[in-house]
Structure 1
Amino acid sequence: MAADMPLVVWFEELGQHDVPRVGGKNASLGEMVSHLGSVGVRVPFGFATTAAAYWRFIDGNGLEETITSALADMDGGKATLAETGDIIRHAFLRGEWSKEAAGAITSNYRELCRRAGRIDADVAVRSSATAEDLPNASFAGQQETYLNVRGERALLDACRRCYASLFTDRAISYRQTQGFDHLKVALSIGIQNMVRSDLGGAGVMFSIDTETGFDRVVLINAAWGLGENVVQGAVDPDEYEVFKPFLAVPSLSPIIEMKRGGKAQKLIYAEDGDQPTRNVPTSKAERAAFVLDEPEILQLARWACVIEDHYGRPMDMEWARDGRSGELFIVQARPETVQSRREAGALKTYRIKRKGRKLAAGLSVGDAVVAGRVCVLERARDIARFVDGAVLVTGTTDPDWVPVMKRAAAIVTDHGGRTSHAAIVSRELGLPAIVGTGDATQVLHDGQTVTVSCAEGDEGFVYEGVADYDVEDIDLHGIARTRTRVMLNLANPAAAFRWWRLPADGVGLARMEFVINNDIKIHPMALVRYDTLEDQDARRRIAELTAGYADKTAYFVERLARALARIAAAHHPAPVIVRMSDFKTNEYANLIGGAEFEPQEANPMLGFRGASRYYSPRYREGFALECRAIRLLRQQLGFKNVIVMIPFCRSPREADRVLDVMEANGLKRGQDELQVYVMCEIPSNVILAKAFARRFDGFSIGSNDLTQLTLGVDRDSEALAELFDEQDEAVEWMIRRVIDEAHAAGAKVGLCGQAPSDHPAFAEFLVTCGIDSVSVSPDSFITVKRHVAAAEQAAATVAGAVRA
């Protein structure tokens, strides 16, 4: 090592080309300080020790022989991994600093204190290996970080411990797995001015969706206090998602998810004792509040885009907010290493067909389904009893768990978010994981056979027994383009990003009632009339769900808008048709507080549903909340690709009344690019198609209801099942007629239903009728696309023969 190589370099003198000198982490900090500070990205100032300082420490203390000998004994079976790591680390901790190295570190620390304006300034001491944070390898959590380090002696001690952490058991194991030579990896140490996030908050941020690879969102996790709890998965953080394409528009606030986490504890400075930090419980107010407000979320998301653009790849970042100044900072940035390398043209889908009782639920990591026997472990030191191929169940994981995680079929934890250690490592290993269940270690037991399902959206489930499920590999290359648009039917916002790679032409049916039932759970009128609600149990449950909302109706509006925004974002700028709520009265009554507002009906299928509710005094105020949500979705979040659809509209007169109510609530057809469609599911919609076409921009044929009401057959009747046929000539006459009438009036027509995927002949019939679009479930998309392409090809062949 050249004697004139510097031992310490300030961040502003570094760039991403300096990985061999200061490792990936410190090179990245230098790159951001040097190039991104001018565009507003704040990075705490600091300096880094170089690889030269590390090798000088190795040589000065004769450590190479110790390392080589210990590793040889391990490779030869004479020592365990734990014994080997312990020998090497203790040798480092006994090592002495050369006068030159100690002087370089302490003199630059004094300069840092001068810049900070404090004596013995508190600093973060971070490890940065010269082989880490590369695009094809993630050394997440392999080496140590020390926070709130004060004074020269404490700093030198923390730096020594950083060197030792290059040989933790997990780091040794990881380098061997990745094929890195232990004696060709050096350690740089970043000494960085502390952001007082112990008084504020901190977290992790990705410029890509971590589960699906959807590259048009920023994912942010946040918790109170220092950020280590988020990284380690020790808390259930808040989660925010932001749609990147709209961030350049100052008038928009494209936050498509704000999910409040439990945040049960926070890491703060310790005032006394040997440890510089300690965990304390959060207050009730802190648990009920979001860590970040909307301007802060948007600022971080914009920084994520700037950083991603600068590096030219998806990025994994850590951020912190100073509780004294209120300023936000980026404290780390590294390449994202999982989704960015995923094969773009391949899609593996899992579909649960039959499942056992639900035992636990949390945030899903990955999209696979796995069955296996449970192994509950409380501590990493218990891993000797782990059975290969079992489902690992534990409270939380840290890097010490990696050796056993590699042997697991799936991972389930009580705590943690999507950016926790368990989630990051599971993604890298390709394992399905469910994090933040809250109680998995209590409800699951050793030897129990379970199925871990991450195939049902953002929420993952542990089911009793072995579920029946299908696995399909879909090749997205070579799918034919069609004149007829093939769109998706979607109901679950949590699963929307799973299908972004499909070459769909938008969403033909997004079911609002599914979102209300699963995400909101409360009858809208129970929120409007909360103060006079008689059901005390309902009042209690509503109070719990709406905690943090001064206006309880805002809970409904904001959650509905953001949930629908996930669907709209996944397919923007293609059209997304959102059907206003289409519950039947018995289904509305099952919502929290709903029983007080719904009549008892003998036949809810043909009763008080759809359009008739929207202008009725019984529900008009509830419909106003739905309209407010659509207005927020389109105007504030920015999703003008959303089209509104009215279900079960019995007459043109009823259509006029609904359109009037919508306009009174700020949704006027034709204004601000708003299109309004109507469901075609009643014979009157066909008979009076011209009149409906004057009032609406398009029709969506609900083939199930239209068949039921055309043939007079209950679609749920087993006795009449053979009579229920969407290809019956009477039904086909209805479909052909509405398409002709709508097109003559300039309106579009689509069909949402299963029939085109089940019956190629029906798809061909729709194509020959000139239908504009068909909308199907995602798992049927490829099949229907092929049916439609074949039908269009056949029609073209016939037309060519006729012309000839």
Structure 2
Amino acid sequence: MPKFVYWFDQLDRSDGSRFGEKAALLADLKKSGISINEGFVLSPKAYFEFLESGHLREKINKLLGSVVKSDKTVKEESLRLIRDAINSQPLPRQVVEEIQKNVRKLATEKTNDLELTYSFGPEESVRTASKLTQSVVSNKKTLIDFLRKLWGNYLETGFLENDQLETLNLCGRGVAIIFNQSIQPESSGMVYTKDPSLTEKSRLLVAAKWGLVGPKQGEHQYFDNYEVDKINLEIIFKNIFSQQSQLVQIEGKLKNVPVAKSFASIQKLSDKNILELARIGKQLESRFGFPQEISWFISRDRIFVSDTRQFHLAADLQTQTQGRIGEGLKLLIKGSPAFPGIATGIPRIIKNQKDLSKLKNGDILITDAINKEFPRIKKPAAIVTNGSGSYSQASLISKKLGIPCVIDIENITDFFNNFHYAITVNGATGQIFSGGLSPSQKSSISYHVAQKRRSDNPGPSAQTATKIFVTIGERDLASELAGKEVDGIGMLKSEIIFSEIGIHPKKFISDKKQKVFIDKLASFISTFTAAFDPRPVIYKSSDLRSDEYRNLKWGEKYESFEPNPLLGTRGGSRYVINPEEFELELEAIKTVRNKFGHKNLWLMLPFVRTVSEMEKIRKIISSSGLHKSDTFKTILLANIPANVLLVEKYLQTGIDGVAVSLDDLITFTLGVDRTNSDITKKFNELDPAVVLSLEKVIRACSQKNLYSSVIGQAPSLYPELAEKLIEWGISSVSVSALSVERTKKIVSEAEKKFLSSKSHS
């Protein structure tokens, strides 16, 4: 029987392609211990089930076939017939009952209101569908009417906005619906983990106001602004905005209401909440590896995060490309930079929704005022608009699409009227030139930008004795990170690789297609080994939990349900119970090392519960033909206290060292559930029990001249911990890409301090 409803704790970061990026993000935030407004997702399976019942898909496709290149009257009549077909089609009983059952579970005494959003896949924007009461959903008839209307609107939107109806496949893409609790906030705002003013790169900005942040209220100058030192988590500066009105939700509608005089000019956040938001900002920047723009709200003194996205700053590149792009090109006009990048294309004037048919992929979108729906069907090469403000709709859309944007140009549509030649847009400087750039010119500019970045951020000139590794899993970052001053990859995350392959390993085994899986895995790993060669790349073998395996295609067939997957069959236990899966990974490693010639690949073994388990795993590795050598090391990933308490015994099994997964070790040592926001603050890297565990592991490895490492952000955040790690004799630390330069400076200083103290003693 198909399953239609998934709660956020049943999803993870890799589920964006199945349920939309918004649902996957909320699930990931929850698993990181960050509070979100609770909810669940109605799978696209429900939409497809609806289409299949009563041959609705066939009816719609038949009606669509009749309107290709037809006039407006025929299209409108066909649309009416499609609406009638949807409204007369019963919903599958199981879908309705499953929604109602989970809505009752979601409703609480605090709120009976729900907020619904829907998205059509990872490339689509998320749209607010409705705000409604739990009583509407509890009533079978009103729920059916609501879903029909929502799915009908989805079909109608695609029908009206697409001018190429002969290629339109309205029934081919699913729509995921998110059911959230609707919470009325006391205050809300954003956290920018990189100060938008760029006055201090080591500061982050918290912006706050009473009530809701509305769709046109993104400019942080209309908020209280609190600048926080990212390193020490200290409030540096406060700018309090006098707020006369606030946006609230009343009976499902947004309304502006006056702010009480006694609250208008006071600080919108307590110092405690400012620092907590700063801590969350640091956590998310570390998790995603890039500066973040985080949307948050507070209700009953509890902080909720509703969204986070990569934050780009136009000013980062403004001086780097200044002058270079204009070489040989005539400057036409200049506006304000809103999003960096360089693009060449034909300017296309779009004044309203009807003009969208003129826009072709790769055009430069020219408009006076952009509507958020404009770039949904076609992707322009750049956006140029009369709109203002670095947080304008144009800027937000360009960030999402990753294309250059220039704003603040008056009468822009008049300027480019009857202009039929290519132009080049420099989103970093706001300049627009006549003519186009050749690929070699673009490459030259990119090279000089990279050179300028290196000269602006040369990093520490002194090399550290302690290796500075990076933790990574995203294939598209391999080449970029290989160009950084890092000594290798301290942990290559297999969970991201398995998610990209997307199919349960046992399916390949069952179909006797093991080589297909091996080749896919080897190809993925070799992207990193080739980029970093000869620096070591330490591949962490699979540590997916059973629920994560179940999320893979065919996963439900091969995985039994476990009540607590965190402590279930995973890591080392799985290798011993299901050696045939582990052997696929070993064969992929052999392919990379022997066939591709990348001898810089090592192996890391996670979640090995006992010494006897490690001995059995070592035998499996040896039987596969992988043997200990100067270029092949086997490292234990210490996730649990048992690895620490018996570290000497583990080392006696013949492994080449131990890397400590700091997050996991803290979780299991302190018994902290990181998904429980009430106790997340007890998650402390400097807790005496954690520090003592680190010392025991590192000293044990150092005494035997074996490899030791710490995987986590703590060495980049706490210089005092870095000093202890150096004193104990650690071999390396592995941090996120964003933390490499800072970690290198901290470790360098710690090494100097250690050598100085030794010379004095």
The TM-score range, normalised by the shorter chain, is 0.3 to 0.5
Could you say which structure has the larger radius of gyration? 1
**TM-score between both structures, scaled by the size of structure 2:** 0.45
